[in-house]
Homo-oligomer: A and B are copies of this chain.
């Protein structure tokens, strides 16, 4: 297998969306983590629902709407200044600690992002984190007006990079995205950052089921969609070794 390009999902794969919790916790003490968990679930739901209803709005609108839903659902006041500060963090998300060094180490291949994010959000995020100096392309699904895992979104890799899907390794920690890419015919490495065993153990050991563990569980273990990623890795730093083993 010749891999000429590595294409990464952004939110949750290169960028730690949980890092928003620092701000949500500051603004709503005791609710920081649960806000980010519900927000993420609804954010993804809205990408799927709007795609199916053919009522596309870009990811910044969906991110706002799902945050509004989350605050309402928790009975928290939606103050415009607070709302603005939380949203702003989405343009300054933390990179996973191993992200930049791993990308630099693979600079002999084409490196790109393919993300649900709008062009503006992504370009700002990539610049703010300094990844613009490492990536060959930052591709938003915006032009297709549907979100992942619609096959149309994954066609953007070939049309932007000029590299056929068989020579691309797509990397995502989001199970639905790994499945969508696999269904489309890409080579897929899924990053399993939290093991099922660890999550199940946390539930079994506790009398009450801990809510945060459960929220993570329902979106972080591999889905039952009849699709399997080609590779399972634990962290981005496992990629150079994986590429060597494929050569």
Contact = CB atoms under 8 A, between A and B. Distances in A.
Interface residues of A, number: 54
Interface string A165-182: 000000000001001100
B226 A55 contact: yes
Nearest to A196: B72
A120 B57 CA distance: 36
Interface in A19-76: 31, 34, 38, 41-42, 45-46, 48-55, 57, 65-66, 68-69, 72-75
Contacts of A210: 211
B75 A203 contact: yes
Contact of A223 (B69, B147, B217): B69
Nearest to A41: B218
Interface in A211-233: 211, 214-215, 217-218, 221, 223-227
A48 B146 CA distance: 13
Contacts of A247: none
Contacts of A147: 52
Q: Which 6 A-B pairs have the closest CB atoms?
A: A75-B200, A211-B211, A65-B224, A48-B48, A73-B217, A69-B224
B51 A200 contact: no
A151 to B, nearest CB: 7
